[in-house]
Amino acid sequence: MPLVFTGTMTAVLVDVDTLAAELAAPAPPAVLDTRWRLLGPPAADDYRAGHLPGAVFVDLDAVWSGPPGPAGRHPLPAPAPLQAALRAAGVRAGTPVVVYDDGDGAGAARAWWTLRWAGHGDVRVLAGGFAAWTAAGAPVTGSVPAPPAGDFVVAAGGLPVLDAAAAAALATGPEGVLLDVRAAARYRGEVEPIDPVAGHVPGAVNLPVPALAGAALADPAGLRAAFARAGVRDGVPVGAYCGSGVAAAQAVLALHVAGRPDAALYVGSWSNWVADPARPVATGPTP
């Protein structure tokens, strides 16, 4: 019998034509430029060079995550500064939000996830990001907007979160799947370019994020098949982690597209796991 997902597929994507029409309407969505690069250069320079009309730049390191430390390189932001930053960007409780990045999906997915976790119920990602927007010949501006102050109130807990203990229980328990969405070589422990220890959470299943991002998001059936091959079954708890909770947000977004809005994010991810030397580390190609 084939594995199926019976959850409701969540509308998390918006295409260029639809967004362009919405921006021309009397009540447009708030648009946030979330371009980001792990190793630089600063994406704010790209924003100043050109962005979607009306878009406000919101930095991943400063807003969509808290200060790095034992909780991870991109831990959860504290509600108060997150709320202040979102209000400064013009985010309102009753107004839809669209986020975009260069098109790689990482920055936009983390922004989407953080907004949903913070309690905003209407957040979408621009499919293909800034690259798709410019490829379609849609307008770009260097003018920096000054939006009216928003009124959004952060209510943390809108999406499920895993800490280290919950991630371990999901990976090793009789029911549940913990997805490690890093590259296979990092999962196997052969290389670790960023964190001090190589390997993976014992029991985690490797499903590298490229199989879940980009064009794959337009194919819910294909996503469901990819998740099923990794052992994800309807009704069985599922969570995802990566190096620091950015790429794993792409996996959670893909799970929403595939009909699993209950998917949890281990925000601290590997950078939090290895902060405690007492936590076990597995290596090799199997969980």
Average pLDDT over residues 207-234: 94
> Would you place residue 4 in the very low, low, confident or very high pLDDT band (cuts 50, 70, 90)?
very low
Statement: residue 8 has pLDDT above 70: no
Cα 160 to the center of its chain, rounded Å? 13
Q: What is the number of alpha carbons within 13 Å of residue 269 lying toward its C-beta? A: 28
- Report pLDDT for 11: 80
Q: How far apart are CA 244 and CA 271, in angstroms?
A: 6
Q: How far apart are CA 54 and CA 100, in angstroms?
A: 13
Q: How far apart are CA 287 and CA 280, in angstroms?
A: 12
**Catalytic positions, please?**
242
First-to-last alpha carbon distance for the chain, in angstroms, is 25
Statement: residue 76 has pLDDT above 70: yes
Statement: residue 282 has pLDDT above 80: yes
pLDDT tens for each residue of 31-75: 999 999 988 788 999 999 999 999 999 999 999 999 999 999 999
Bridge-based pairing of strands 205-206 and 97-100 is unpaired
pTM of the model: 0.94
> Would you place residue 3 in the very low, low, confident or very high pLDDT band (cuts 50, 70, 90)?
very low
- Report pLDDT for 41: 80
Average pLDDT over residues 194-199: 97
